[in-house]
Amino acid sequence: MSEIKVIKERPQPEKKIGRHVITVKVQHNFGVLARITGLFAGRGYNIESLTVGRTHEPHIARITIVVEGDERVIEQIIKQLRKLIETLRVRDITDIPHIERELALIKIHTENDRTRDEIMRLVNIFRAKVVDVSTDTYTVEITGDEDKIEAFISLIKPFGIKEMARTGTLAMVRESATSKILPGERFD
């Protein structure tokens, strides 16, 4: 009779999936955004938030990407981003003190004076503002971090949200964090 050997596999280290905020400065050229998002799609990662806009420098755009992934894959994506011709700077600012903001426009049903008063109370508490009024809706603009916007949305949901549009996350490293940069390290 032959003996069967059981080979135990080595336990693989757990991949820690985390939220990452990546900033990218690029030349503002045709197709650059498609190439960047393709890097994430090619590795099977969904971009949670993507914001693109011009900077104070002509022909330069800043992209803020929020993605969930493990450290190894995020590191590889960052290396690939740096290889793109149009890429000027790439930085994962997740662990650096930074400011994050998002904007939401929310059209809320207003049925009567009592409803309007309650909505205005919430608008004031959250330091939001009403930017449009009709006979049966208020359109509210709110800015803040994701938690603030989510909290506001959960409180106004019972009134009825007719329509909503949200930007992606914008992020910038706090100035106080720049003193922690080592000489020769690039900073965006």
In a domain, 139, yes or no: yes
> Which of 96, 112, 140 is where one domain is finished?
96
How does pLDDT run across 23-43, given as a tens digit for each residue?
A: 999 999 999 999 999 888 887
Rounded to an integer, the average pLDDT of 32-57 is 89
CA distance 139 to 157: 13
Does residue 69 share a domain with residue 108?
no
Domain boundary (61, 96, 131) is at 96
State the total domains in the chain: 2
Given its phi and psi angles, is residue 29 left (phi above 0), alpha (psi -120 to 50 degrees) or beta?
A: beta
pLDDT, tens only, 79-99: 989 999 999 999 999 999 999
pTM (two decimals): 0.77
Q: Is a pLDDT exceeding 60 seen at residue 144?
A: yes
3-state class (DSSP) for residue 83? helix
Whether residue 8 lies inside any domain: the answer is no
CA atoms within 13 A on the CB side of 88: 14
pLDDT at 8 over 90: no
For residue 184, is it within any domain? no
Which residue among 96, 114, 141 closes a domain?
A: 96
pLDDT at 162: 97
Given a cut of 90, whether residue 9 has pLDDT beyond it is: no
Angle CA 50–127–112, to nearest 5: 105
DSSP 184: T
CATH code of the domain containing 75: 3.30.70.260
Q: Which domain holds residue 132?
A: 99-170
